[in-house]
Structure 1
Amino acid sequence: MRRFLLTAVVMLSVAQSAAAMERGSVTNLPIPRYVSVKTEECNVRRGPSLTHRIDWVFQRKGMPVEVTAEHGHWRRVSDRDGAGGWVHYSLLSGARTVIVDQDMLALHLGPDPETPVNARLELGVIARLGECLTNWCRLSAGGYRGWAPKSALWGVNADEIRD
């Protein structure tokens, strides 16, 4: 039994390493990765060309999306609800943003729940992502800056560290 568990752990570790090393065929950037919508209106298409039907339109500049595939000048993206489609790369930005997933999320002055609260963010607010530590990220939104628990955000990986 112990040998089976050890083998399973090694196989899982190898699978995770392979997934972490996946790169886009066009940009050579990691897949999946987070980016944001650059414009007020961003068409999301059924396939990677202008001839494909528009399924919907993102209407929030700065909306974080996850790139899951690349094809020429097109990126397949998904939002926090898992809905996806193809977007022309010119409509996307490398600027990182997150969506607040907890109502009245406290922004602390430091990456510690014991530090004073600087502001509170409503559910669904889009915030600019700054530095991220193991469990906390620095955000800016509406003229306020502070630290929030990573677990209350969509648009950043749980294991992601940013300087």
Structure 2
Amino acid sequence: MKRLCLAILSAFLFAFSPIAADAQDKRGQVTNLPLPRYVSMKAAEGNVRRGPSLTHRIDWVFKRRGMPLQITAEYGNWRKVQDRDGAGGWVHYALLSGVRTVLIESEMLPVYARPDATSPINAHFETGVVARLGTCSLDWCRISAGGYRGWSLKANLWGVDPSEIRE
């Protein structure tokens, strides 16, 4: 009985300790920003390395300015990123931008005038289009690309968390 009480007390104390809070709200060691988080490619080309230094081998090169990426780790001036397909590695922070973009994941995605599926359609975006991310509610995000803008259901976009709200 005594062991059971100690186990319950230990579990309770851990659940409300700073260590448990850190596990639930992970932050980067360098920037103190939330991890994971989304950014975009600032450069037209960016080397993706196996490790966080210039001495590590280049595995491939991202070649799309504005492409949304997810940062999963930080080390000095390096950020571990991954794309929509989960492919990634270490990229120098200077190649990344805080400007938020999303990747369209639905074929001929309707972009509405208002966050309402009964409102007029402003445009249709093809799969793979990179769009600039604006305001987001729980279900809808305002996006723009190619001179067109409007609202899309968040579920059709990669580069924004399902519960993320942006003003």
Same fold (TM over 0.5): yes
Output the amino acid matched with 1:96. R
The question of 1:26 aligning with 2:33 is answered: no
Output the amino acid matched with 2:155. S
- Name the SS for the 1:90 alignment partner: helix
**Residue 133 of structure 2: aligned partner:** 129
CA distance in 1, matches of 2:68, 2:52: 20
In the alignment of these two chains, the number of paired residues is 151
The percentage of aligned residue pairs carrying the same residue is 63
- Name the SS for the 1:99 alignment partner: strand
The question of 1:54 aligning with 2:68 is answered: no
**Residue 165 of structure 2: aligned partner:** 161
Output the amino acid matched with 2:84. R
**Residue 40 of structure 2: aligned partner:** 36
Structure 1 residues 40-95: Cα deviation after superposition (integer angstroms, max 9, x where no partner): 10110000000101101010000000000000000000000001100000000000
Residue from 90, 94, 97 that aligns with 2:94: 90
Q: What is the alpha-carbon root mean square deviation over aligned residues?
A: 1.7
**Residue 6 of structure 1: aligned partner:** none
Output the amino acid matched with 2:86. G
Output the amino acid matched with 1:92. L
Show structure 1 runs of 5+ residues with no match: 1-10
- Name the SS for the 1:36 alignment partner: strand
- Name the SS for the 1:146 alignment partner: strand
Structure 1 residues 133-155: Cα deviation after superposition (integer angstroms, max 9, x where no partner): 01000001000010000000000
Contact kept in structure 2, 1:20 and 1:30, CA below 8 Å: no
Deviation of 1:19 (Å): 4.6
Q: TM-score, normalised by structure 2?
A: 0.87
Residue from 95, 99, 104 that aligns with 1:100: 104
**Residue 81 of structure 1: aligned partner:** 85
CA distance in 2, matches of 1:121, 1:95: 20
The structure 1 segments of at least 4 consecutive aligned residues displaced by more than 3 Å after TM superposition are 16-20
Deviation of 1:18 (Å): 4.8
The question of 1:63 aligning with 2:64 is answered: no
CA distance in 2, matches of 1:126, 1:68: 21
Distance 1:17 1:145, change over 3 A: farther
In our comparison, the structure showing a higher alpha carbon Rg is: 2
Structure 1 residues 88-119: Cα deviation after superposition (integer angstroms, max 9, x where no partner): 00000000000000010000000010000000
